[in-house]
Structures are given as C-alpha cells and as structure tokens.
Structure 1
Amino acid sequence: MSTVERDTRHDIIDVAERFFRQIGYQKTTVADIAKSLRMSPANVYRFFDSKKAINEAVAERSMSELEATVAAIAAEKRPASERLRDILSATCRINAARYLDNHRLHEMVACAMEESWDVVRGHIERYDAILRSVVADGIARGEFTARDPVTATHCVRMAMLRFCHPLLLAQCAELPGPTVEEMIDFILAGLGAVRSAA
C-alpha cells in the first residue's frame, strides 16, 4: 500500500470517527464520509468494502491505542504488582474518558461487538497477552502466589469488566459496589501479592 493510500485510509477513519461521535454510527452514511472528504462514495469503497469495514477500522484503531499504552506499562522495569495496578487503572481511565459521556460511541462499540466480533476478540486476546506477561512475571519472581497465569489473567479481566467494558461503564456507574482502586486491591490480594514487593 502506497503512502497516499495509507493517508487516504487514515483520513477516512478520522472522518468516520468524527461522524460516529457527532451523529452516531447508525445515522452516518458512506456518502456523509465521502462528502466530507470531497470524494465519491465509490472512492471510499476502494479503501473499505463496506460501512462495517470502516467501523471495524475505527474500533480497531481505538483498541490499538489502548493496547499500546498498557504494553508500554507492562514493559517497564518495576514490580509486577505496580505495573498491573497501573495497567488496570489506565484501562479504566482511558475507556471512561472515551465512552462514559458519549452514548454514540457506545452504539459504535455495540455494533462492533455484534457485527465484527473477530475484531473485538482479537483485542481481548492481545490485551490478555499483555496482562498475562505481567502476571507470569510476578509469579516467576515470587511476587504473586497464584500458580496459573492463564487462569489468573482471565479472572483479573473478568473482575474489572464493569469498570472497563464500554457498554457496562454507564450501566453500572450507579450500582453499589467497590471503587476501581478497591477492586484492584482485591485483585492483587487474590493473586497473593507479596506486600514487600509492591
């Protein structure tokens, strides 16, 4: 793919995301995106074969940005418990900033989950791999007493779901329950975090 083609794809994704935020995924048409970019809908279809493909690209870029942030934290030379705490806090903070006050982005994510589950599943697998690397490191260094990093990682993600899942953030916001910090403390205790390592 040439630089011009890459730039055009990038522009289409930018404009689509702006429309999804402003008027919503369902109301946005390929014609709207094309008009904003001063090109024909047929030209947009040269780069994306459907509106669903555009939505996938918008969702994937958003997910990739989160993955890059948490991967950078995971790579730091610090105790695993500190890195895990910061990864979970960053995930909650980023998702809340993106989705909590934007119902139209909720709609986009809902469509991605219904229409493009492979994109979402790919994100979950990559995110879990990052978490698992930190959990496994903590086990190997004796910071965590948990034995199976795969099961532990799944438990960590599931425990944080109401704080991180774009569709649950708003729905669970008013429900009684622990704060993000309390839940992270609970998770670290469940992993058997050794206090002196933190």
Structure 2
Amino acid sequence: MTEQKLPAATRGPSDHTLRDQIVNAAMEYFSHYGFEKTTVSDLARSVGFSKAYIYKFFSSKQEIGEVICASCLTQITQRLNAALEEAPSATEKMQCLFQTLTVAGSELFFRERRLFDIAAAASRDRWSSAERYEAWLRETTVAILREGREAGEFERKTPLDETAAAVYLVLRPYADPVQLQAALDTAKEDASRLAALVLRSLAP
C-alpha cells in the first residue's frame, strides 16, 4: 500500500516521525510477546492510533517487520564490508567473511533477543529483505573467489559458479539466524574451522 501523506494543514509530527513511532512500538511489542503473537491491533493501542491509521503507513505487520529486519541486515553488511576492505588478500577476505558474519549475527540477533523472531520469520518465509541479504552474500562470495583466482591464490579448474555455490552452502548456516542459534556456543570456532577447510579446498 502506498504511503499516504497527512493533510497539509495538519500540525504535529511528520509522516517520517509517525512511521518511526510505529516501528519503535513494534520493537517493544516484539521484544515482550514475539513477532508471531503481536498483532497490528496491539501496535495501534500502544501508540494511540487506530488500526486503520497504521494501515496508512504499513500494509501489514510483515511490512513493519521488513523495515526492522532490513535495518538489522544493513548493519551486518556494513560491518562485513568494513572488515573485508581491511583484508589485504582474497584468502584473508574468505576467513573474514566466515568469522565476521558469525560474530555480527550472533551479537545482533542474540544480544538483541527481540530481533531474533523477526530475523527467523524473514528467513523462514523468504521476506524480500532476507532474499536481498542472501543475494548480497552470494555476490560477495563470488567476488572474493574471483579475486583469489586472479591473484593465483585459488584454483581455477572448477567452474566459478559451482565453487561459489558450494562455498555458500558451507557459509549459509552462519547467515541464517535459526541455524546459527542451534550451534551458538561453538559457532565462532566452528566457522573458523570451516573457513580453513574451504581455503584448503580452494588451494591451486
């Protein structure tokens, strides 16, 4: 649903402020009751709006969740990009991809427990924010592999798309909050071991 503007004569907070207010209320409700149990009616009551008024800004509860999820995933991609820029070689970039992805996801989704339900729903139900994030990770994996091949760090006999798909299969459990949760206690060490295994398989 297209966002509707408030009438020009209306005094008070802007549309942007109202949207933020709704999103913040959603975060609070999700933190206490979980994403699945929270309704749009709950959110409306928490901010003193009617349910219909919230639908002026968001077409569904999922759309509110998408805003929150996209913001969280952007934090992870920014952190990964910053770390990858500092890695001087493709080998170190591959190590960094596994390690930083695991640490960033663990800190964001499990220190901020209110975000876990949203991230899990996004992954399970294939929200657009989750699909964009997955596409970005795949593209980043391909870019690292291509850089390593051009530098002579990685083998070049296997088709690039096959190699990238295989590496992503190993990486994916650390990008998926549900799978990451299942091995959270040892995730950092496990990711390091798997990165080392992947790098040995990529050796020329």
Task: Normalising by structure 2, report the TM-score.
Answer: 0.77
Is the 1:162–1:172 Cα contact (8 Å) retained in structure 2?
A: no
Displacement of 1:54: 1.2
Displacement of 1:64: 1.9
Q: 160, 173, 178: which one pairs with 2:171?
A: 160
Aligned residues: 191
Displacement of 1:41: 2.6
Structure 2: distance between partners of 1:110 and 1:65: 17
Structure 2: distance between partners of 1:163 and 1:95: 8
| Long gaps (5+) in structure 1 | 194-198
Alignment of 1:136-175 (within 5 A): 136-146=146-156, 147-173=158-184
1:82-140 deviation per Cα after TM superposition (whole angstroms, max 9, x unaligned): 12211221110121223346776443333323444433222211221122222211111
Displacement of 1:25: 0.6
- The residue number in structure 2 matching 1:36 is 46
| Long gaps (5+) in structure 2 | 6-12
The answer on 1:84 being equivalent to 2:94 is: yes
CA gap of 1:18–1:155, structure 2 versus 1, over 3 A, is farther
Q: 191, 194, 198: which one pairs with 2:202?
A: 191
- The residue number in structure 1 matching 2:8 is none
The answer on 1:180 being equivalent to 2:191 is: yes
**What is the root-mean-square deviation of aligned Cα atoms in Å?**
2.9
The answer on 1:133 being equivalent to 2:143 is: yes
1:137-161 deviation per Cα after TM superposition (whole angstroms, max 9, x unaligned): 1111112124544332222221133
- The residue number in structure 2 matching 1:94 is 104
Identity of aligned residues (%): 20
Moved over 6 A (4+): none
The answer on 1:75 being equivalent to 2:98 is: no
Is the 1:128–1:153 Cα contact (8 Å) retained in structure 2?
A: yes
Q: Which moved more, 1:118-127 or 1:6-15?
A: 6-15
- The residue number in structure 2 matching 1:50 is 60
CA gap of 1:137–1:102, structure 2 versus 1, over 3 A, is same
